[in-house]
């Protein structure tokens, strides 16, 4: 369907390079607004700092909405320790072992940014032996070693680092010649790029969606309150979010994933059936999955009591909320399904 995969991947990489841990997403939101301006799409900011855009469709009597979220996993400085290191509290659901040894950036209120590394409080096997190997990787056993000349809390405070400062992790993004892309935070910056890939398809083909289309770029999805403003005339809502490629999830990195149920709710049967039929009619490779510990902006919305059909589709990634990976084929299949259905 003439999906511009290079545009999607380039934009994905650019978005991944912009730190946006949940609660600190203004820079990522600004980049989204810049891209919307390029396409001449009208939009507005919500009071929570998200973006709601609108594209006129052929059918003005039916209204759909899609969403993708700019916020990622991250952390906040919980305490400046006496030894000059930082204790963190995490934002979003990830295991501390998944970020052990990762380089981080500490974002201060003044705008200064400092580099550091997340380590266990007893990291060296030369010093601590088996204790270093066996120490539980839990919040109170992890700390940031700041790459500055700091030995005590007062040294850190002089840098302007305070409790409440946001911390982002290095993404380690790699695009491979065989079509794989791996990075932290493909969830959900890849999906934002896919939404723009869909918008570029509309622009390149001088076409409209089948019906009026709202597009919501949310900024608090990872902690459960991403989309909180819905047009009153909305008929259906599709969250564009990652699927899961794992032994019990039935996802496939080379196919689009249509989610049947997550940990919050089954998805709307009628809408899921339409998505499956659209994929089959267009010969788009897909999987259907039931996800155990998972939620999307769509099921969050339903639990708030909103009344519309709801679904969730996206590219399946391996090792979600860790060092994630997917494939160009699944990226294209997702956009193809957006084109076929929307």
The predicted model gives 247-272 an average pLDDT of 93
Using the predicted structure, report yes or no on whether residue 229 has a pLDDT greater than 90.
no
Confidence of residue 293 (pLDDT cuts 50, 70, 90): confident
d(CA 295, CA 284): 24
221 catalytic residue (yes or no): yes
What is the rounded average pLDDT for all residues in the chain?
Answer: 96
Using the predicted structure, report yes or no on whether residue 190 has a pLDDT greater than 90.
yes
Question: Which three-class secondary structure string do you get for the chain?
Answer: CCCCHHHHHHHHHHHHCCCCECCCCHHHHHHHHHHHHHHCCEEEECCCCCEEEEECCCEEEEEEEEEEECCECEEEEEEECCCCCEEEEEECCCCHHHHCCCEEEEECCCCCEEEEEEEECCCCHHHHCHHHHHCCCCHHHEEEEECCCCCCHHHHHHHCCCCCCEEEECCCCEECCCCEEEECCHHHHHHHHHHHHHHHHHHHHCCCCCEEEEEEEECCHHHCCCCCCCCCCCCEEEEECCEEECCCCCCCCCCEEEEEECCCCECCHHHHHHHHHHHHHCCCCEEEEECCCCCCHHHHHHHCCCCCEEEEEEEEEECCCCCEEEEHHHHHHHHHHHHHHC
What the block records as the tokens of 98 is: 């998944």
pLDDT in tens, 7-46: 999 999 999 999 999 999 999 999 999 999 999 999 999 9
Q: Which domains, from first to last, does the chain contain?
A: 5-72+185-341 (3.40.630.10), 74-169 (2.40.30.40)
Using the predicted structure, report yes or no on whether residue 310 has a pLDDT greater than 90.
yes
pLDDT in tens, 121-148: 999 999 999 999 999 999 999 999 999 9
Using the predicted structure, report yes or no on whether residue 249 has a pLDDT greater than 80.
no
Q: Pairing between strand 174-175 and 256-261?
A: unpaired
Report the 10 Å Cβ neighbour count for 176: 11
Using the predicted structure, report yes or no on whether residue 228 has a pLDDT greater than 90.
no
Reported residue count of the chain is 342
Using the predicted structure, report yes or no on whether residue 117 has a pLDDT greater than 80.
yes
Catalytic residue among 87, 143, 221, 236: 221
The predicted model gives 101-115 an average pLDDT of 97
d(CA 183, CA 159): 30
pLDDT at res. 224: 87
What the block records as the tokens of 282 is: 């267009």
pTM of the shown model: 0.96
Contacts of 228 (CB under 8 A, 6+ apart): 46, 48, 304
d(CA 21, CA 71): 5
* Phi–psi pair at 214, nearest 5 degrees: -90, 145
Residue owning tokens 């539980």: 136
pLDDT at res. 232: 86
Annotated binding site for Zn(2+): 69, 187, 222, 241
d(CA 164, CA 316): 33
Task: Say what percent of the chain tops pLDDT 70.
Answer: 100
Annotated binding site: 69, 187, 222, 241
Using the predicted structure, report yes or no on whether residue 333 has a pLDDT greater than 80.
yes
Residue owning tokens 């494939």: 327
Nearest CA to 201 out of 14, 39, 30 is that of: 39
pLDDT at res. 197: 98
pLDDT in tens, 64-91: 999 999 999 999 999 999 999 999 999 9
Report the 10 Å Cβ neighbour count for 48: 14
pLDDT at res. 226: 85
């Amino acid at each position: 369907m003439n999906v511009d995969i290079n545009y999607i991947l380039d934009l994905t990489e650019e978005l991944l390079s912009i730190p946006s841990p949940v609660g600190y997403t203004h820079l990522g939101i600004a980049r989204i607004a810049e891209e919307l301006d390029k396409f001449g799409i009208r939009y507005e900011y919500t009071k929570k700092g998200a973006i709601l855009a609108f594209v006129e469709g052929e059918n003005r009597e039916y209204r759909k909405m899609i969403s993708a979220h700019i916020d990622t996993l991250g952390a906040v400085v919980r305490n400046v320790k006496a030894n000059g290191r930082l204790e963190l509290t995490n934002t979003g659901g990830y295991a501390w072992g998944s970020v052990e040894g990762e380089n981080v950036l500490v974002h201060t209120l003044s705008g200064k940014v400092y580099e550091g590394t997340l380590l266990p409080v007893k990291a060296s096997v030369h010093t601590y032996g088996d204790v270093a190997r066996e120490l539980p990787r839990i919040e109170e056993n992890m700390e940031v070693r700041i790459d500055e000349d700091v030995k005590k809390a007062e040294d850190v405070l002089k840098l302007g680092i305070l409790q409440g400062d946001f911390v982002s992790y290095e993404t380690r993004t790699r695009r491979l010649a065989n079509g794989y892309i791996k990075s932290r935070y493909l969830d959900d910056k890849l999906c934002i790029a896919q939404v723009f890939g869909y918008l570029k398809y509309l622009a390149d083909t001088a076409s409209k969606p089948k019906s009026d289309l709202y597009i919501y770029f949310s900024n608090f999805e990872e902690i459960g309150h991403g989309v909180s403003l819905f047009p009153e005339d909305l008929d259906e809502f599709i969250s564009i979010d990652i699927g899961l490629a794992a032994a019990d999830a039935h996802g496939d990195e080379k196919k689009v994933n249509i989610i049947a149920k997550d940990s919050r709710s089954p998805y709307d049967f009628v809408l899921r059936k339409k998505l499956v039929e659209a994929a089959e009619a267009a010969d788009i490779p897909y999987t259907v999955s039931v996800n155990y510990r998972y939620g999307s902006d769509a099921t969050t919305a339903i639990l708030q009591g909103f009344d519309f059909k709801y679904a969730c589709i996206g590219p399946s990634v391996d090792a979600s909320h860790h060092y994630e990976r997917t494939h160009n084929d699944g990226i294209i299949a997702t956009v193809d399904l957006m084109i076929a259905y929307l």
